[in-house]
Amino acid sequence: MRPATLAGCGAIALWSTLGLLSRTAAALPPLQLTAMAFAVSAALGLGLLARRGELAVLRQRGVVWLHGVFGLFGFHAFYFAALAWAPPAEANLINYLWPLFIVLFSAALPGMRLNRWHIAGVACGLAGCVLLLGGGAGLRAASVPGYLMALGSALTWAVYSVLARRLAAVPTGAVAGFCTATAILAAASHFAFEATVAPDATMLLGVLVLGIGPVGAAFFLWDLGMKRGDPRLLATLAYATPVISTLLLAAGGFAELTTALAGAAALVALGGLLAARGALSPAARRAAPRPILRAPHPRRRAGRWWRR
């Protein structure tokens, strides 16, 4: 497995802790929590760039900023709207179509052909997700706007992830800028639509850990995985997120260990194995990113401000 694909797996592992860590700050309104957590990740990311003298990576073309802010803020905006306008079970199920969309959209990338192993793997992962989250789910006409918002969140994250492959020349450090913009937009949305809740020490600790991990480092690792790793394999493995999250919640006493959970874990594991089998094919090993933004010729590098 490529190092970049392992980095993407690190993002999946961090996102699996989101449910458990969010319990510590559950009293905070969702947009306020998003703004605070992204403010932490933005501060850490910008601080690291400043220490390494790499703040110039934030000087990117408009299309890069549109891509990054659309992905991070757009996904969260759609997802929170879905939870507000539709039952959580249905909203989460529809939202978890994003790994399937990533696999399908990856077929349009150079060298990213799909084979039967990829399709079988993502199908098993989706089945495991449905088994785990689908209890009591059912379509309701009154919740159609929420379903559309959930579908929007899934499509947003899939498009963001796949397009990262075509923007492989953009340094991963630019994600710090996207986190900053997301924090600002989330804060503005919070003040417009929510009442502010004063956090206590426990909530602040939860926000700090969230900003460091699942709402911080995870996005940098995912960027690496999408740009340099195998997006088809990572998308299939992403179905492990709700399973691991539920296991962690059960370990913390917030959920039950059930037969459905065991079955979902087995299906997700099988899906990962099948997708890994597809990733080992000769065509998959020859895959390489073809960026839209290409690095300039070495002799011209000094004169280009966005590469300094």
> What are the pLDDT tens digits along the chain (308 aa)?
689 999 999 999 999 999 888 888 889 999 999 999 999 999 999 999 999 999 999 999 999 999 999 999 999 999 999 988 988 878 888 899 999 899 889 888 877 777 888 889 999 999 988 888 877 666 677 888 999 999 999 999 999 999 999 999 999 999 999 999 999 999 999 999 999 999 999 999 999 999 999 999 999 999 999 999 999 899 999 999 989 988 888 888 877 888 888 888 899 889 888 888 776 655 545 544 444 444 444 444 444 433 43
| Amino acid at position 202, single letter | T
CA dihedral 97, 100, 105, 106 (to 10 degrees): 140
User: In b/e form, how buried is each residue of 215-254, taking b as 16+ CB within 10 angstroms?
Assistant: bbbbbbbbbbbbbbbbbbbbbbbbbbbbbbbbbbeeeeee
Between the CA of residue 14 and those of 141, 217, 271, what are the distances in Å? 35, 8, 20
- Report the distance separating Cα 51 and Cα 53, nearest Å: 6
The three-state (H, E, C) secondary structure of 195-236, written as one string: CCCCCCHHHHHHHHHHHHHHHHHHHHHHHHHHHHCCHHHHHH
pTM of the full structure: 0.85
